[in-house]
C-alpha cells in the first residue's frame, strides 16, 4: 500500500474513534415544555321520549286497524331526547336500514318518497339535511317521518300485504361541515 492510502485509512479510523465508533456527532440542542393542554371529546346520543303517533289527513290513526290505500300520506312523530356537545358538531337524521320489513312491493311503494326531518327549539337546520345543536347539553326534539303512497296507475302486487315498522330506529349521524 502506498503512503497516501495508508494515511487516508488512518485518518478515517481517527474520525471514527472521535465520533464514538460511528455513534453520534455532538451538537447543541435544547427543549422546553409548552403545556399544550388536554383535548376533550364531545358526545352525540339520542333516546326516544314517550310514545310516537301515526296520523293521516284525518288525524291520529291506530296502525293495528288502519288499512292504507294508494293516495294516503301517513306521518309518524316521536319526541326524542338528544344529548350533544362538541364544537362544530353537525349531524343528519335518518332511519336505520331494516326499518321496513315485510312485503317487498309494498315497501317499495311506501319508501319511494319517504321523508324524515327533525325540529326543536335548540336545533338549527343548516339545510342539505344537516342539523346542529345550538347549545351543548340535552334538548328535546321531534322527529317526523312522512310516508306517501302515490295515487296512480300501480300494479296490484301490493294489495292485502303488510309492512312492519317495529324495527324502526332513528339515527343521528355526525357529518363534516
Is residue 73 domain-resident? yes
User: Residue 144 sits in which domain range?
Assistant: 43-152+159-175
Percent of residues in the chain assigned helix, strand, coil, to nearest 5: 15, 40, 45
Does a structural domain hold residue 125?
A: yes
Which residue do the cell numbers 318518497 mark?
113
Domain contains 95: yes
- What number of other Cβ atoms are within 10 A of residue 48's Cβ? 13
> Is 102 inside a domain boundary?
yes
For residue range 137-156, list pLDDT tens digits in order: 899 999 999 988 888 776 67
Q: What is the pTM of this model?
A: 0.73
User: What does the block give as the cell for 82?
Assistant: 338528544
Do the domain assignments include residue 12? no
How many structural domains does the chain have?
1
Count CA atoms closer than 13 A to 96's CA, side-chain side: 9
Q: Please give the pLDDT value at position 157.
A: 76
Residue 61 falls inside a structural domain: yes
- Over the chain (177 residues), the average pLDDT of each successive run of 10 is 65 59 72 92 94 94 90 94 92 88 84 88 90 89 90 75 85 91
Kindly state whether residue 171 falls inside one of the protein's structural domains: yes
Q: Has residue 87 been placed in a domain?
A: yes
Amino acid at each position: 500500500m502506498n503512503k497516501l492510502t495508508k494515511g487516508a485509512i488512518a485518518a478515517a479510523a481517527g474520525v471514527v474513534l472521535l465520533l464514538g465508533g460511528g455513534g453520534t456527532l455532538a451538537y447543541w440542542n435544547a427543549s422546553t415544555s409548552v403545556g399544550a393542554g388536554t383535548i376533550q371529546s364531545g358526545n352525540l346520543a339520542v333516546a326516544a321520549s314517550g310514545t310516537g303517533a301515526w296520523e293521516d289527513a284525518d288525524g291520529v290513526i291506530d296502525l293495528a286497524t288502519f288499512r292504507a290505500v294508494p293516495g294516503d300520506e301517513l306521518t309518524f312523530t316521536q319526541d326524542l331526547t338528544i344529548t350533544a356537545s362538541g364544537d362544530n358538531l353537525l349531524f343528519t337524521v335518518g332511519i336505520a336500514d331494516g326499518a321496513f320489513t315485510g312485503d317487498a312491493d309494498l315497501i317499495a311503494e311506501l319508501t319511494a318518497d319517504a321523508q324524515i326531518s327533525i325540529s326543536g327549539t335548540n336545533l338549527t337546520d343548516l339545510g342539505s339535511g344537516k342539523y346542529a345543536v345550538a347549545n351543548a347539553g340535552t334538548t328535546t326534539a321531534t322527529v317526523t317521518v312522512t310516508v306517501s303512497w302515490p295515487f296512480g296507475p300501480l300494479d296490484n302486487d301490493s294489495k292485502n300485504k303488510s309492512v312492519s315498522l317495529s324495527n324502526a330506529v332513528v339515527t343521528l349521524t355526525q357529518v363534516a361541515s
